[in-house]
Amino acid sequence: MINQKETITAISTPIGEGAISIVRLSGKNSIAIINKIFSKDILKFKDKTAYIGKILDSKKNVVDEVILTLFKTPNSFTGEDIVEIACHGGILITQRVFEEVLNAGARPSGPGEFTMRAFLNKKIDLSQAEAIQDLISAKNKFALKAASNQLCGHLSKEIKKFQKLLIDIAAIMEVSLDFPEEGIDDAETKSLIDDMLSILKSMQELSDTFEDGKIIKAGVSICIAGSVNVGKSSLMNAILKKDRAIVTSISGTTRDVLKEDIKLNDMFYQLIDTAGIRKTTCTIEQEGIKRSRREQKNSDITLLVLDASKKLSEDDLTFIKILNRKKTIAIWNKIDISDPQEKIDFENVVKISAKNRIGLENLYKMIEKITFKSKISNDEIFITNKRHKYALDGAISYLKKALKDLGKGISFEFITIDIKSSLKELSKILGFDITEDILSSIFSNFCIGK
């Protein structure tokens, strides 16, 4: 059972040494609790105004000099009375202030409990609440933008737009059921079908953004793959700008999988160097090759390195055949020795010299091009959350069923049932029609104090 009666508190800043830390309270007793331990009468304090004063312990000893800010109900983040105590930013001093707040009657908050209260008190809908956590954990500028758009309610607005359109359609159908004498002619049915198709198209487009949305949120993995000795590890080092992987002229140098995080084009990528693919009887190398294939299969992008100074080998040709071309960039390496000896049929091809660091800028541009399916624009709304994706796809499938039945001439009575189910799925995104368990599990992934 979600308990909203108690006043909750948490240290809302990360544990560590810094200029300030913030201890926050929310609940109907926030002000009374702090009044017990503050050097001034805070009952007289104004809303959204900062006051300087001291936190005192039970013997009236000064614990810390702090700045207090009150955010009174209903115009606060949670909708309840909030008190924020900005104390000195040391681990111990913050802990001491926090303990005094607990002693005065607040209880420690659970993960995301402040945000959950904001949701329960209807200050934000569920998709906005989820956006707050995404905003905090955003790893690149696209993720940040997507989260901030969602927090501003852009996704909610889109969902509400679908809901309004579907409600209008269901209403027309219901009126015709209530007043059968007025009936609906073929032209009107056709117009209903057209409207439903157009909503379906927009819903599908939004759902399809999940492909990019997922990448935005989770980051992208890039696997460097190819035959032995083509310069994969040299490329890894060139991109990282450090001597990370061992490079030698001996074929089969790399055995283990090497992984490093790297920022390119404002995005975080995980770069993976792998063992070169060839037929071998060496057990260690065979294991390395097995791992290479696994990494390559699981990665978002493959950089297929080919040696420009040589003819393509049997191993190259076998590898080329199995690759997913949409997510592969073919790289002719060693162009300092010679131009590529052959032509290959690939959409994304770059020529580089890993050793001399030539052509890398073109490679980065190509990586950016194939990272996202669509060109990411600032105003675009993305589905980045699996829960939203499932609900939206649920709504789509009910709407498809409704359309199919409408085409078959089935009574509106049944079609409105599917439209209502579609609406129900949509409202899950905003946080309606979901169980308390699901709600608790969503907020349990939040950080404490948020």
Ligand X SMILES: Nc1nc2c(ncn2[C@@H]2O[C@H](COP(=O)(O)OP(=O)(O)OP(=O)(O)O)[C@@H](O)[C@H]2O)c(=O)[nH]1
Beta carbon of residue 67, minimum distance to ligand X (angstroms, whole number): 56
User: Which of 233, 292, 302, 427 touches Mg ion by CB under 5 A?
Assistant: 233
**Minimum distance from residue 277 beta carbon to ligand X (Å):** 8
Residue 88: contacted member of ligand X, Mg ion, none (CB under 5 to 8 Å, by partner type): none
CB atoms within 10 A of CB 162: 22
d(CA 444, CA 450): 11
Question: Mask 262-281, x = binds ligand X (CB under 6 A)?
Answer: --------------x-----
CA distance 348 to 345: 9
Q: Compute how many residues bind Mg ion; rule: CB under 5 A.
A: 4
Q: Which residue has the tokens 């995080």?
A: 261
Min separation Cβ 358 and ligand X, Å: 8
Q: Residue 252's binding partner, choosing from ligand X, Mg ion, none, with beta-carbon cut-off 5 to 8 A by kind?
A: ligand X
- Pick the closer one to ligand X by CB: 355 or 424: 355
Q: Do the beta carbons of residue 301 and residue 224 sit within 8 Å?
A: no
What is the smallest separation between the CB atom of 321 and ligand X, expressed in angstroms? Answer: 19
Residues 6+ positions from 137 with CB-CB distance below 8 Å = none
Between 247 and 264, name the residue whose CB sits nearer to ligand X: 247
Neighbours of 436 (CB within 10 A): 9
Footprint of Mg ion on 13-42 (CB under 5 A):
none
Binder of residue 30, out of ligand X, Mg ion, none (CB less than 5 to 8 A by kind): none
The one of ligand X, Mg ion, none whose footprint includes residue 348, by CB under 5 to 8 A per kind, is none
Nearer Cβ to ligand X, position 289 or 415?
289
Is 336 near ligand X (CB under 6 A)?
yes
User: Between 285 and 425, whose beta carbon lies closer to ligand X?
Assistant: 285
Nearer to ligand X, 151 or 308 (CB): 308
How far apart are the C-alpha atoms of 334 and 354, rounded to whole Å? 7
The phi-psi region of residue 48 (left if phi > 0; otherwise alpha if psi is between -120 and 50; otherwise beta) is left
Question: With contact defined as beta carbons under 8 Å apart, do 443 and 233 qualify?
Answer: no
Q: Does 231 bind ligand X (CB under 6 A)?
A: yes
Residues 93-152 that bind ligand X (CB under 6 A): none
Q: Which residues make beta-bridge pairs with 221?
A: 270
Rounded to a whole number of angstroms, the distance between the first and last alpha carbons of the chain is 20
Quote the CA–CA distance of 221 and 298 in Å, as a whole number. Answer: 8
> DSSP characters for 143-193?
HHHHHHHHHTTHHHHHHHHHHHHHHHHHHHHHHHHH-TTT---HHHHHHHH
Q: Exposure of 187 by Cβ count < 10 A (0-12 exposed, 13-18 middle, 19+ buried)?
A: exposed
- Under the binding rule (CB under 5 A), the answer on residue 254 touching Mg ion is yes
C-alpha distances (whole Å) from 315 to each of 49, 276, 305, 306 are 70, 9, 12, 11
231 binds, among ligand X, Mg ion, none (CB under 5 to 8 A by kind): ligand X
User: What does the angle CA 408 – CA 412 – CA 417 come to, to the nearest 5 degrees?
Assistant: 105
With respect to ligand X, which residue has the nearer C-beta, 66 or 320?
320
Between residues 335 and 396, which has the closer beta carbon with respect to ligand X? 335
Instruction: Tell me how far, at minimum, the Cβ of 260 lies from Mg ion, in Å.
Output: 14
Closest distance of CB 20 from ligand X, Å = 49
Q: Does 313 bind ligand X (CB under 6 A)?
A: no
Residue 175, binding choice from Mg ion, ligand X, none, Cβ under 5 to 8 Å by partner class: none
Binds 174: which of ligand X, Mg ion, none (CB < 5-8 Å by kind): none
Q: Is 415 helix (H, G, I), strand (E, B) or coil?
A: helix
Beta strands in 47-127 (DSSP E): 50-56, 62-71, 82-88, 107-108
CA 350 from centre of chain: 31
Strand pairing category for 62-71 and 82-88: antiparallel
User: Nearer Cβ to Mg ion, position 163 or 233?
Assistant: 233
Burial 389-404 (b: 16+ CB within 10 A, else e): bebbbbbbebbbbbbe
Q: Site for ligand X (CB under 6 A): how many residues?
A: 23
Residue 268 CB, shortest distance to ligand X, in Å, is: 23
Which residue number, 13 or 253, has a Cβ lying nearer to Mg ion? Answer: 253
Per-residue binder mask for ligand X (CB under 6 A), 232-251, x = binder: xxx------------xxx-x
CB-wise, 149 or 292, nearer to Mg ion? 292
Is position 127 an interface residue for Mg ion (rule: CB under 5 A)? no
What does the binding site for ligand X look like in residue numbers (CB under 6 A)? 228-234, 247-249, 251-254, 276, 333-334, 336-337, 353-356
What does the binding site for Mg ion look like in residue numbers (CB under 5 A)? 232-233, 253-254
